[in-house]
Amino acid sequence: MSSASRIEFSEIWQRVERLSKATTRITAEHELDRVLQSVVDSAREVIGARYSALGVLAIDGSELETFVASGLPPDQHSMIGDAPTGKGMLGAVIRDPKPLRVRDVSRDPRAYGFPNHHPHMRSFLGVPIVGRTGAIGNLYLADKIGTPEFTSEDESFAVMLAAHAAVAVENARYFAEREGLLKELRSLHHSRERFFAMTNHELRNALTAVHGWTELWIRKTAPDTPRSALEVQESAERALTLLEDLLDLSRLEADKLEPVVKELDVWTVIRESVSTVEPAAERRGIRVRLSGPDGTVFARTDPQRVRQILINLLTNAVRHSPAGDVIQVQLHSDDGTLRFDVVDNGEGIAPEEQAVIFEAFERAGKETERGTGLGLALSRKLARLLGGDLRVESTVGRGARFTLQIPRTVDAPS
């Protein structure tokens, strides 16, 4: 290789290195304005031009809506006035989106409209910036440093830089759109939370009053309480439970619900849960049978959330069990894990229903026996909040077994 060839190869390799570094800088930016400025600054360095600019096309592609320049002192840039919209030589690349090289723009009839205080320019190179859906702008360079005009090699490097610029510009636009959508979603979520909290508060107040007056009526009329009073009380209790479930789901989705960890006797929590559903079970002649280790079973977890899960599981079991049947609650424990099995002999759950019953508002069973579809979804989320999980095993016609498994010791939130 001759000395001249080695020098030429070295110069090309240096330009490739500058292009690589420029690409890294450009793709590292996410804000559109900074991306555009990085492109024009890098173009001057890679191509070796005194001035460079980038114009972003308007939606209809007829003119430039954004124009960023590099190489002009700030005071001279401000003296020029309004940014160009794509007339003259700039418009030539818009009308015919392909590379354009001109040795002397002062002799080209397409060059006109230069404003006062615009620097005198001679050589010119313009290349389109083409994205996935077509041209999105143009890269312009003026006054090649060291030679009277831009070369075909300059054009090749400008085309490569424009290709990288297209990706960076589109990514910046997607990033801005994503940030805008996230901001809008956060605003909508906040509005939803405020609306829900207000509605929940008002409904709770109204239902609490209904429940309180009904309870007073039942006490005064016992043992001859009208069935209608019992039905009103039960409906009010279900509505209050539904509101609490909805509020808990909202808190869980917003990561605002944390376990309140306490030392507890697991059997106490189980018996409290059974006591809650006993009235409904007794009306259908259903008994709840407990089995598990003798004596006290100590644990460190959130008793309210464990109780909430068990009540949901027991309520479902009562609803789906045949009249006069037995529901089993089985407790298994070892040094690190607690497992609760709630077993019924109801109609069972089909495989396709098992796949969705833990999703909010999805329900299984006969239409007349269906609940709100929130209990199981909330219960699984609460189980996972406690570091465990909730699963089901069932065969149609042979009942269902819901298994809650959680750590025996849950770490308190920091």
**Band (367; pLDDT cuts 50, 70, 90):** very low
Q: Which domain holds residue 316?
A: 259-414
Torsion 62-65-69-74 (CA) sign = positive
Mean pLDDT, rounded, for 195-212: 63
Return mean pLDDT, the chain: 81
- pLDDT-derived band at 77, boundaries 50, 70, 90: low
Q: Residue 392 belongs to a domain with what CATH number?
A: 3.30.565.10
pLDDT given for residue 121 in this prediction: 86
The residue among 209 and 92 whose pLDDT is bigger is: 92
pLDDT tens digits, one per residue of 278-328: 888 998 999 999 999 999 999 999 998 999 899 989 989 998 999 999 999
**The domain spanning residue 174 has which CATH number?**
3.30.450.40
The last residue of a domain, from among 126, 149, 181: 181
What pLDDT sits at residue 290? 96
Q: What angle do CA 371, 361, 281 make, to 5 degrees?
A: 20
pLDDT value of position 55? 86
Asked if residue 283 and residue 407 are part of one domain, the reply reads yes
- pLDDT at residue 270, rounded to an integer: 96
For residues 275 and 134, state if they share a domain: no
Give one DSSP letter per residue of 248-297, joined into a string. HHHHHHTT------EEEEHHHHHHHHHHHHHHHHHHTT-EEEEES-SS--
The tally of domains found in the chain comes to 2
Examine the domain organization and report whether 54 and 169 are in the same domain: yes
pLDDT digits 0-9 by tens, 237-265:
666 666 676 666 666 665 667 888 999 99
Q: Does pTM surpass 0.85?
A: no
C-beta separation of 144 from 154 below 8 A? yes
> Alpha carbon 363 to chain centroid distance?
26
pLDDT confidence of residue 364: 52
Same-domain status, 263 and 395: yes
Residues 19 and 167 in one domain: yes
pLDDT at position 10: 59
Q: Is the pLDDT of residue 331 over 90?
A: yes
> Among 130, 154, 181, which residue terminates a domain?
181
The residue from 181, 216, 232 where one domain ends is 181
